[in-house]
Amino acid sequence: MDHIVTLDSRQEAALQAIADQFIAQHKGDPVKALKEMIVLNGHLHDRLEAMAAPRRATR
């Protein structure tokens, strides 16, 4: 883990609401939702790395 993020109570409540919605989309299965989130994060990480690669090459 690169760094720890601290949330205030308002941010925590908003995050909880989004998490509940995401789990509901997966028929209430938190493991299935977690697996999809891991896959989605992997795709986003790959895209961010691809965007950063050209900038690293020009330095």
DSSP secondary structure letter of residue 3: -
What does the alpha-carbon distance between residue 49 and residue 5 come to, in Å, rounded to a whole number?
21
| pLDDT per residue as tens, the chain (59 positions) | 578 989 999 999 999 999 999 999 999 999 999 999 999 999 999 998 898 887 766 55
What does the alpha-carbon distance between residue 41 and residue 1 come to, in Å, rounded to a whole number?
14
Q: Is 4 a member of any domain?
A: no
Q: How many CB atoms lie within 10 A of CB 25?
A: 12
Do 33 and 26 contact (CB within 8 A), yes or no?
yes
Q: Is 28 a member of any domain?
A: yes
pLDDT of residue 2: 78
pLDDT of residue 48: 87
Please count the structural domains in the chain.
1
- The boundaries of the domain holding residue 44 are 9-57
pLDDT of residue 31: 96
pLDDT of residue 21: 96
Entry pTM: 0.64
Q: Is 21 a member of any domain?
A: yes
Residue showing tokens 């299935």: 32
Residue showing tokens 């601290």: 6
